[in-house]
Structure 1
Amino acid sequence: MTDTIRRSGEERQASIQHTAAALGIDEALVSELVDTFYARVREDDLLGPIFQSALGEDWDPHLAKLKDFWSAIALGTRRYNGRPMPAHLRLSDRISEAHFGRWLGLFR
């Protein structure tokens, strides 16, 4: 036997939501975070062109998807049901560790 306690999906979701509320994280904050961060990305000389070539001028659908993703992660909303890795793997010949480092720098 093991001492590991397994929680149901509902219990995990409730725990995430409780923690988010205690930290003051809500949908408005997630939306502001995504909008602010990706405004920086668009203006960045290294990352901006990569996103521009992938998204063109129509960022709204992508931003909505990102908000759903971060809402699911931070708030346990389960709104996001995509698969982010395949989209990023298609760009693997155009992105490097330097790009990831810049992305992290802008996020901070």
Structure 2
Amino acid sequence: MENDSVPQEITTLVGREVYTNNGVFLGEIEDLRLELDTQQVTGLALHELNHELFAEEAASARGVIVPFRWVQSVGDVVIVNDLAERVQQAKQNEEEEVRA
């Protein structure tokens, strides 16, 4: 029997590190956002954030939620597409434009 066919509890995701497909560390999964009506995971709540990408969020201890649709693979770590990096870079560019 293949490992992929064995159902796993969603709580096994808690504590796993999350990286982009470019190898950039985003954070560690602290909790999951669930849609109870459809019984689906809709987001990953991260803490222990990468301070370079999430300086404001890390300083305020709010954390971030990564949409589950960004997840590309789940194993010992969780891999998400690089949209997370692009979102933060766009946010930083907007802040720099406001300062200029």
TM-score (norm 2): 0.27
| Higher normalized contact order (CA 8 Å, seq sep 6+, divided by chain length) | 1
- Structure having the higher strand fraction is 2
Higher helix residue share: 1
